[in-house]
């Protein structure tokens, strides 16, 4: 007997938080890995993090970034 998605959702939403959390974790663990880094964003983030750690690049505050952006608009 198949259960409609709406009915299943209604049943699941009535479960206590802990049980819903375990259900979600089990469902996610059952899925195949589908995430890929096609745009190499993770590699770029790791490269930039390494540059910060090595002192090659420096960070700036949000206030300094805002000021730089505002100065470029003038």
Residues 5 and 21 in one domain: yes
Residues 28 and 46 in one domain: no
Question: What is the band of 73 on the pLDDT scale with cuts at 50, 70, 90?
Answer: confident
pLDDT attached to residue 42 = 82
Residues with Cβ within 8 Å of residue 59, at least 6 apart in sequence = 52
Domain count, the chain: 2
pLDDT attached to residue 31 = 83
- Global confidence as pTM: 0.43
How far is it, in rounded angstroms, from Cα 5 to Cα 11? 10
1 pLDDT exceeds 70?
A: no
- Owning domain of residue 9: 1-33
pLDDT digits (tens, 9 = 90+) for 5-45: 999 999 999 999 999 999 999 998 898 776 666 777 888 88
Residues 1 and 29 in one domain: yes
58 pLDDT exceeds 90?
A: no
């Amino acid at each position: 007997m198949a259960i409609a998605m709406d009915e299943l959702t209604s049943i699941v939403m009535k479960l206590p938080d802990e049980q819903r959390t375990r259900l979600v974790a089990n469902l996610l663990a059952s899925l195949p890995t589908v995430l890929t880094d096609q745009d190499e964003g993770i590699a770029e983030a790791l490269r930039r993090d390494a540059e910060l750690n090595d002192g090659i690049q420096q960070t700036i505050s949000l206030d300094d970034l805002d000021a730089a952006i505002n100065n470029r608009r003038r």
